[in-house]
Amino acid sequence: MDEPEAALSPQRQLSLLVLMHELCQKPDTQFIIATHSPILLAYPEATIYSFDNDKIEKIDYKETQHYKITKEFLNHPELYIKNLFLDLVS
């Protein structure tokens, strides 16, 4: 799947995780997903590959830029808004 989150709300992304889990109960089931969604990246026991640098490498969930940025934004949205819109907040 190529970025399935593009058409899905966060709630529907969670629903997709459940559906994927149900399908993975069958033998020989696997998914290859290109995503920026920290929700989809959180699938248990997923192998995550990063294409961010010059080489493709395995990466832990909490080391992905998508996780780090989303976590920081949700923890401190006011800081992001202040920095993103400096000219509007002054």
pLDDT per residue, tens digit, the chain (90 aa), is: 999 999 999 999 999 999 999 999 999 999 999 999 999 999 999 999 999 888 999 999 999 999 999 999 999 999 999 888 887 655
- Helix intervals (H) in 1-90: 10-23, 38-41, 65-75, 77-84, 86-89
pLDDT at residue number 85:
87
Can you tell me the distance from the alpha carbon of 13 to that of 23, in angstroms, rounded to the nearest whole number?
15
Structure tokens at 4: 């399935």
The whole model's pTM is what?
0.84
